[in-house]
Amino acid sequence: MIILEATVRRARRNREFGRVEALIDLIVKQPGHPARRVTIRTSQPAKGTPPLRQRLCHDAALLARHIETSPPVSACAA
């Protein structure tokens, strides 16, 4: 999976926990498939390095890759 673009939107800070939560729009491309948009909600500590925007986008990319490679979950009867 190749990440072509990452955009942070709807970021909000949770002062109680010292974290920033945001929706990240990713434009991803799989070899042999057209590019598509994926939206991931993620959060990171408000303070730290590298810059917050970079950490949020990196975490969203990791989550998108994990979701893409995870086997489908079957519904189980309760």
- State the 10-residue block means of pLDDT for the chain, 78 residues long: 92 94 94 93 93 94 87 64
pLDDT the model gives residue 56:
94
pTM for this entry: 0.81
Are 6 and 26 a contacting pair, CB within 8 Å? yes
Please list, in sequence order, all residues whose beta carbon lies within 8 angstroms of the beta carbon of residue 28, skipping any fewer than 6 positions away.
1, 2, 3, 4, 35, 36, 37, 38, 64, 68
Cα–Cα distances in Å, from 2 out to 16, 25, 27, 30, 39?
Answer: 35, 14, 9, 6, 15
Residue ranges per domain, the chain? Answer: 2-69
pLDDT the model gives residue 78:
52
